[in-house]
Amino acid sequence: MTHRGAPNQGPLRALLGHHRTLVAGVIGALAGATGTVSAVSGDAGVLEILAFAGIGVLGLLLAIAYVLAYAQRPR
């Protein structure tokens, strides 16, 4: 396994800098958005709506964290 990045790079930054984090973030954001819309239009309770909205927010945060980690990566 090759080590990518700076030698003092922490495990969190290594995780956030991987392209799979971006893919998981985008999928989570889309799942949260579509789940929230379907829960609001259907007969779902407040807890289900908030759960789907939380999934969407966490997915969005993962995607933003990847972009920030990618921007700080040395070229």
8 lies in some domain: no
Residue 36 belongs to what domain range? 22-71
12 lies in some domain: no
Express each pLDDT in 15-64 by its tens digit: 777 889 999 999 999 999 999 999 999 988 999 999 999 999 999 999 99
Task: Dig out the tokens for 48 from the structure.
Answer: 């289900």
CA–centroid distance for 2 within its chain? 25
47 lies in some domain: yes
Residues 6 or more apart whose Cβ sits within 8 Å of residue 20: none
pLDDT of residue 10: 76
38 lies in some domain: yes
Residue 10 amino acid letter: G
pLDDT of residue 53: 96
Mean pLDDT computed over 10-14: 75
pLDDT of residue 25: 94
Number of domains the chain contains = 1
Whether the per-residue pLDDT at 66 is higher than 70: the answer is yes
pLDDT of residue 37: 95
Helix, strand, coil distribution of the chain in percent, nearest 5:
75, 0, 25
